[in-house]
Chains A and B, each alone.
With several copies, the nearest count.
Chain A
Amino acid sequence: MDVLYFAWVRERIGRPKDRIETQAATVRDLVEELRAREERYAAAFEDLSALRVAVDQELSDFDASLAGVREVAFFPPMTGG
């Protein structure tokens, strides 16, 4: 599964993308795995209320299932326009 990071999440983790083999059932489970990896991941995912998630390029939420999912992205609230 591709895990993408944007904006300050990308900067805090220090990379735009990870390729991850995971058995995580939900986005929240995936976040727990990532937090456990390294301090910079723990820092990036410290406050989930400051984060948004997209599952296969659709805006989603942390309880979303990862069954069959190819791409998950984490980022702060969007500031387009």
Chain B
Amino acid sequence: MDIRVQEAAFDLGDEARAFAERQRGMGAVVTFTGIVRDLDGGDLDVMEIEHYPGMTEAAIEKIGQEALSRWNLGDILVIHRYGRLRPDDLIMMVATSARHRVDAFQGAEFLMDFLKSRAPFWKKEVTGQDAAWVAARDEDEDALSRW
């Protein structure tokens, strides 16, 4: 399990390639990548991501262990950035490997659902002179109940 909480940018291509290449005996690799987007069609300038140093790594580790215990996974990668991000910047990614595709998909979806609502990150959108904390969505909380 490879967990990285970092301010620095990362390269999806390099990370996905390296993850897939270090898997042995795994027929399936799934990646999810989250990208800063101006979904409301406004003029998003900056997304600030705050986190809880210490707890963040522990919370992700716990989510990852839970995923490993529920599905037949080979490996897990989680990279999550904090700090000031710009539109089109990559926020985070997860990758999973498994012998079969269903485990790889389910593991990645589980990680994403729990990272959304159970890892201590908070997003703030800065648009011109305005700044607003992104509100948690009910559907993200609801998504946890399916697991």
A interface list, Cβ under 8 A from B: 4, 6-8, 10, 54, 57-59, 73, 75-81
A-contact 0/1 string along B101-115, CB 8 Å cutoff: 100000000001001
- A54 to chain B: which residues have CB within 8 Å? 52, 55, 120
- B59 to chain A: which residues have CB within 8 Å? 57, 59
- B123 to chain A: which residues have CB within 8 Å? 79
Partner of A81, one of B54, B58, B115, B133: B115
Most buried by A among B80, B101, B116: B116
Q: How far is the CA of A77 from the CA of B139 in the complex (A)?
A: 13
Dominant secondary structure at the B interface: mixed
In the complex, are the beta carbons of B133 and A80 less than 8 A apart? no
In the complex, are the beta carbons of B54 and A57 less than 8 A apart? yes
Partner of B134, one of A10, A59, A75, A79: A79
Q: What count of chain B residues pass the 8 Å CB interface test? A: 27
A-contact 0/1 string along B121-147, CB 8 Å cutoff: 111100000000111100001000000
Please report which residues of chain B, range 38-91, place their CB below 8 angstroms from some CB of chain A when the two chains form the complex. Answer: 50, 52, 54-55, 58-59, 80, 91
Q: Tell me the minimal C-beta distance from B102 to chain A in angstroms.
A: 12
Q: How far is the CA of A58 from the CA of B117 in the complex (A)?
A: 14
In the complex, are the beta carbons of B34 and A73 less than 8 A apart? no
In the complex, are the beta carbons of B54 and A78 less than 8 A apart? no
